[in-house]
Structure 1
Amino acid sequence: MRAQLLARFQATFGRAPTLIARAPGRIEFIGNHTDYNGGTVLGAAIDRSLWVGLAPRDDARRRFGADYSGHDLVELPAHPLAPQHGKASWVNYPLGILAAFPDFGLCAPAGFDLYVVSNLPSGAGLSSSAALELASALVFAAATNQQIAREQLVAIGRHAENHFVGVPCGILDQGVCAFGQKDHLVFIDCRGPQFSTVPLLPDTRFWIFNTHTKHALVDGLYAERNRECMQAAQRLGVSQLAALTPEAFASHPEKNALPPAVARRAQHVVEEIARVGAVHRALHAGDLHNTGALLTASHRSSQHLFENSTPELDFLVDTLTPTPGVYGARLTGGGFGGAVMALTHTQFSQAHAEQIARAYSKKFGGEVQILETRTADGANLVA
Structure 2
Amino acid sequence: MNHSTSASLPTSSNLLTELRDRVDREFQAKFSRPATVIAAAPGRVNLIGEHIDYNDGFVLPMAIERYVVIAAAPAADASRPTATVYSTNLQETTQIPLGNSQAATLGNWGRYLEGVVAGFAEQGIQVPPFDAVIGSNVPHGGGLSSSAALEVATATLVESLTDHTLEPLQKALLCQQAEHRFAGVPCGIMDQFSSVFGQADHLMLIDCRSQQYDTVPFDADGISVLITNSNVKHELSGGEYAARRNECDQALRKLNQNTWRNVSLEDVQNASSSLSDIELRRARHVVTEIARTIQAAEAFRDSDWDAVGQLMYASHESLRDDFEVSCRELDQLVEIASELGTESGVLGSRMTGGGFGGCTVSLVRDHALPEVIQSLTSRYQSATGVTPSCFSSRPALGAHLIQPHA
Normalising by structure 1, we get a TM-score of: 0.94
Query: Is residue 66 from structure 1 mapped to residue 84 from structure 2 by the alignment?
Result: no
Change (3 A) 1:106 1:259: farther
The one of 330, 347, 363 aligned to 2:383: 363
Q: How much does 1:179 deviate?
A: 1.3
Which amino acid letter does the alignment assign opposite residue 368 of structure 1? P
Which residue of structure 1 aligns with residue 15 of structure 2?
Answer: none
8 Å CA contact retained: 2:104, 2:181: no
Aligned-residue sequence identity (percent) comes to 37
4+ residue segments displaced more than 4 Å: 215-218
State the distance in 2 between where 1:286 and 1:271 align. Answer: 22
Q: Which runs of 5+ in 2 are unaligned?
A: 1-18
Equivalent-residue separation in structure 2 for 1:134 and 1:217 (angstroms): 26
Contact 2:70 2:154 in 1 (8 A): yes
Match of residue 146 from structure 1: 164
Residue of structure 2 equivalent to 1:328: 348
Counterpart pick for 1:301 among 303, 318, 339: 318
The one-letter code matched in structure 1 to 2:88 is D
1:84 Cα deviation from its structure 2 partner: 5.5
* 2:243 alignment partner, one of 195, 214, 224: 224
Look up the equivalent residue of 1:374 and give its one-letter code. Answer: R
Structure-2 separation of matches of 1:33 and 1:107: 34
8 Å Cα contact 1:46-1:375 kept in structure 2? yes
In the alignment of these two chains, the number of paired residues is: 377
Amino acid at match of 1:274: A
1:214 lines up with 2:233 in the alignment: yes
- Judging changes above 3 Å, is the alpha-carbon distance between structure 1 residues 298 and 12 closer, same or farther for their aligned structure 2 residues? same
Tell whether the 8 Å contact from 1:161 to 1:167 is kept in structure 2 after alignment.
Answer: yes
2:128·2:161 contact (CA, 8 Å) conserved in 1? no
> 1:111: how far off?
1.8
Counterpart amino acid of residue 116 in structure 2: I
Query: Matched residue of 2:141: which SS?
Result: coil
Give 1:208 deviation, angstroms.
0.9
The 3-state SS of whatever aligns with 1:63 is strand
Please show how residues 82-97 of structure 1 align to structure 2 within 5 Å: 82-83=103-104, 89-97=108-116
1:283 aligns with 2:300: yes
Aligned to 2:394: 374
Q: In the aligned structure 2, how far is the partner of 1:303 from the partner of 1:293?
A: 15
Aligned-pair Cα RMSD in Å: 1.8
Report the equivalent of 1:113: 131
Distance in 1 between residues matched to 2:285 and 2:116, nearest whole Å: 32
8 Å Cα contact 1:30-1:295 kept in structure 2: yes
Partner letter of residue 347 of structure 1?
H
Q: 1:337 aligns with which of 352, 357, 366?
A: 357
Instruction: Return the alpha-carbon distance in structure 1 between the equivalents of residues 196 and 97 of structure 2.
Output: 29
1:347 deviates by: 3.0
Distance 1:84 1:369 in 2: 34
Distance 2:156 2:236 in 1: 24
Matching residue of 1:178: 196
1 CA distance for matches of 2:395 and 2:142? 17
Q: CA deviation at 1:295?
A: 0.5
Structure 2: how far apart are the matches of 1:16 and 1:292? 48
Relative distance call for 1:361 and 1:92 in structure 2 (3 A) is same
Q: 1:25 to 1:212 in 2, by over 3 A?
A: same
Contact 2:98 2:114 in 1 (8 A): no
Over 3 Å counting, the alpha-carbon distance change for 1:139 and 1:123 in structure 2 is same
For residues 79 and 137 of structure 1, what CA distance do their matches in structure 2 show? 15
C-alpha distance in 2 between matches for 1:218 and 1:363: 23
Paired residues of 2:41 and 2:150 also in contact (CA < 8 A): yes
Give the letter for the 1:334 counterpart.
G
- Shift in Å at residue 80 of structure 1? 7.4
Residues 1:139 and 1:76: Cα distance change in structure 2 (over 3 Å) = closer
| Correspondence list, 1:246-285, <5 A | 246-251=265-270, 253=271, 255-285=272-302
CA distance, structure 1, for counterparts of residue 264 and residue 30 of structure 2: 54
Q: Which amino acid aligns with 1:213?
A: V
CA contact (8 A) 1:207 1:344 kept: yes
User: Given residue 97 of structure 1, which amino acid in structure 2 is its aligned partner?
Assistant: V
Q: Which residue of 1 aligns with 2:9?
A: none
Deviations 1:117-170 (A, max 9, x none): 111110111111111111100111221110112111111111111122111111
How has the CA–CA distance of structure 1 residues 133 and 106 changed in structure 2, closer, same or farther, with 3 Å as cutoff? farther
CA contact (8 A) 1:84 1:91 kept: no
Instruction: Tell me the equivalent position of 1:318.
Output: 335
Instruction: State the distance in 2 between where 1:216 and 1:208 align.
Output: 21
Offset of residue 6 of structure 1: 0.6
Q: Is the 8 A contact 2:218 2:301 kept in 1?
A: no
Tell me if the contact between 1:62 and 1:78 (Cα under 8 Å) persists in the aligned partners.
yes
- Structure 2 length-normalised TM: 0.89
Q: Tell whether 2:163 aligns with 1:125.
A: no
Q: Work out the CA distance in 1 between the residues paired with 2:121 and 2:92.
A: 29
Structure 1 residue runs of 5 or longer lacking an equivalent are: none
Task: Supply the AA of the counterpart residue of 2:232.
Answer: T
Distance 2:126 2:379 in 1: 50
Equivalent in the alignment of 2:217: 199
Judge conservation of contact 2:38–2:402 (CA < 8 Å) in 1. yes
1:240 maps to 259
Q: Which amino acid in the other structure matches residue 41 of structure 2?
A: A
Residue identity opposite 1:271 in structure 2:
T
Question: Is the 1:50–1:120 Cα contact (8 Å) retained in structure 2?
Answer: yes
